[in-house]
Structure 1
Amino acid sequence: MKLLLLACLSPKTGNNTTAERIRSHIESAGHTCELRDAAAFQSSAEVADLISRHPPFEGALAIHLFRAGSLLLDIQVPFGVIFGGTDINEDVKVEQKRVVMERVLLKARFAVAFTDKLKEEAKLFLLSQSCKIYVQPQGIQTEVSEKFCWTEFLRSSEWHRENPLNVLVVIGPRIDPVFSVEVEAVVKKTAGVFLAGARSQRELHAAMKRCFTVVNSSVSEGMSAAILEAMDLGVPVLARDIPGNAAVVHHESTGLLYSSPQEFLHQSQRLLSDRELRERLVRNGKVYVEEHHGLGQERETYQRLVDTLLSA
């Protein structure tokens, strides 16, 4: 079966990594899966034209109901969709987007949510048949590069010299140009905070391994792969207390949650001073990922769902 997989493919992002992983699951079952960036298309008509070219695609998948799923509304082959956090956390608040997402969900053969919470939110905000929404957490596999070096971040600052552990390194690509400029301006005048830019997944994992903790400060998440990767690598997680994070970070068991700057500082200090707490979080986090986020179950789920497209 020849499949099209549409997703937002900004380099070295979680979306890109997730899309590549799902494509590998599909192709390991003997199918052909062509990955395309949703941003490359201006309309659903363009995707419909691509689908019909020879040899034609026999099915399609999209990650994010609005950004990518909306581009599948005019195709004549069966398709499935995968929720991203933005779908339920943000897009449903905009009536025009919500209506489009309902149309996508109605036409889709199946939908995948990363958590039970996301499925419940979809049932609440979208006119959907809950029986077509499957829950499948992200599968995690970590690989550490031995070439990554921190030297470039260890700039001279009094604050860093007093306590080398008090350094915040922000790693990631510049997605929003305006916001990126704001962040860079703040970082330039803040001692002990450094921007690392985008890194390959293996370099990112190497950076995580050298950290005292991995912080997730997002205000909107579906399921953070970075959190799960940190757990798998044996690094404690400190995350903002939002539904997407709380679904995988169980406070004081698999990680720590915070809701304010003051609480962030308090929880950070606990990690620094309480070795028993840190060891418990590392141990429980590793077990949690192994039990709930294995690649095998994720692979089996997507291969089974793709088979439903064959029977259309």
Structure 2
Amino acid sequence: MKLLFLAPLSPKTGNHTTAERIRSYIESAGHTCELRDAGEFQSPAEVAHLVNRDPPYEGALAIHVFKAGRLLLDVHVPFGVIFGGTDINEDVKDEQKRVVMEQVLQKARSLMQLSPSSSSNRKFAVAFTDKLKEEAELFLVAQSSKIYVQPQGVQTEVTEKLCWTDFLRNSGVRNECVDELRIFLLVCGLRRVKDPLYLVEVFSGWHCKNLLNILVIIGPKIDPVLTVEVEAVVKRTTGVYLAPEQSQLELHAVMKRCFAVVNSSVSEGMSAAILEAMDLRVPVLARNIPGNAAVVQHEVTGLLYSSPQEFVHQAQRLLSDHELRERVVRNGKLYVKKHHSPKQESETYQRLVGTLHSA
């Protein structure tokens, strides 16, 4: 089967990593899967023209119902959609976007029901968590619809080539006590929904009381306006640094060396960075929002906070309570192993794409 796969593909983002992983699953099952950036296309008509080229595509897949799925509204091949966190946490609040998403989901269902033998198990929509599924059913999808829940699979690899001292120097960190630094790593693309400046002021005040506590922000520069703002704030703030982008292997090596991985997002579908940190046995400090609370159980697999001040409190607990640190690290690793198996994820997408093939 020849499949077109659309997704937002900003380099070195969770969306890009997830899409590449799913593409590999599909191709390992013997299909041809062409992954394209949704940002390349201006309208559904462009995608319909692409799909109909000789040899035509036989099916399609999209991550993010609005950003990518809307581009499939004019195609006449069966397709499936995967909900992104932005779909449910942000876009559904916009009436125009919500209407478009409903049209996408209705189109997917109608294309999957081409014959009387089609059954509900061939309605292809996927959510990463039960919470996202519940929200989708509440705001977008009729109760008769079937939404599969398939958490993201996690498989981390770490390069041995990273020089920790060079990484810190390139990030602007100047401290003779490199091995004593407690690096809190905020992994996020520079865009508003990730709220990269949320902790900066309070963290800087904490750093001034203990110069070994350092916050490093790392991720692709997605929003140019916000990037300029972040760079300006970081430049005049002590104890907070902006690191250059890294490859996934290098990023995992950086995560492995840091004291804790931080999330400060306004909303999340399922944070790949949080899951990767857990898999690497690194403590997680995550903002208490539904997407994070779905994977981080407070004091069990990580720590949640609801304000910058509470972040500092929880960080201090991690520093002083070694038993707590060991517990969340151990349980985080076990959680990822149990609930985020790449093997299970692979089997799910191969099976679902198989329903497109038989449609």
TM-score interval, normalised by the smaller of the two chains: over 0.9
* Distance in 2 separating the partners of 1:174 and 1:293: 28
Pair 1:174 & 2:221 matched: yes
Q: Deviations over 1:265-311 (max 9, x none)?
A: 10000000000000000000000000000100000000010011012
Number of residues of Structure 1 aligned to a counterpart in Structure 2: 312
Q: Percent identity?
A: 78
- Higher mean alpha-carbon deviation, 150-159 vs 194-203, is at 150-159
> Within the alignment, does 1:276 sit opposite 2:323 as a pair?
yes
For the residues of structure 1 that align with 2:77 and 2:134, how far apart are their CA atoms? 28
Query: Is the Cα contact below 8 Å between 1:157 and 1:191 reproduced in 2?
Result: no
Match of 1:148 in 2: 162
After TM superposition, give the deviation of residue 53 of structure 1 in Å: 0.7
Are residue 231 (structure 1) and residue 249 (structure 2) matched?
A: no
CA contact (8 A) 1:116 1:135 kept: yes
Hey, what does 1:184 align to over in structure 2?
231
Q: Which amino acid aligns with 1:14?
A: G
Aligned twin of 1:90: 90
Match of 1:304 in 2: 351
Residue equivalent to 1:24: 24
1:284-299 aligned at under 5 Å gives the runs 284-299=331-346
* Contiguous gaps of at least 5 residues in structure 2: 109-122, 177-203
Q: Deviations over 1:75-115 (max 9, x none)?
A: 01000000000000000000000000001111224110000
* Partners of 1:234 and 1:180 in 2: CA distance: 30
**AA in 2 matched with 1:78:** P
Give the drift of 1:149.
2.6
Q: TM-score, normalised by structure 2?
A: 0.84
Deviation at 1:164, TM superposition (A): 5.9
Q: What is the identity, as a one-letter code, of the residue corresponding to 1:90? A: E
Work out the CA distance in 2 between the residues paired with 1:177 and 1:274: 40
- 2:137 aligns to what? 123
The TM-score with structure 1 as length reference comes to 0.97
**Rounded Cα–Cα distance in structure 2 between residues aligned with 1:232 and 1:127:** 33
Match of 2:243 among 182, 196, 217: 196
Q: Equivalents in 1 of 2:22, 2:136: separation in Å?
A: 22
Q: CA deviation at 1:132?
A: 2.1
Higher mean Cα deviation, 246-255 or 152-161? 152-161
State the AA in 2 paired with 1:190. T
SS in 2 for 1:252: coil
Q: Deviations over 1:217-269 (max 9, x none)?
A: 00110000000000000000000000000000000000000000110010000
Instruction: Single out whichever of 151-160 and 170-179 deviates more from structure 2.
Output: 151-160
CA distance in 1, matches of 2:143, 2:227: 39
User: 1:33 corresponds to which letter in structure 2?
Assistant: C
- The residue identity in structure 2 corresponding to 1:140 is V
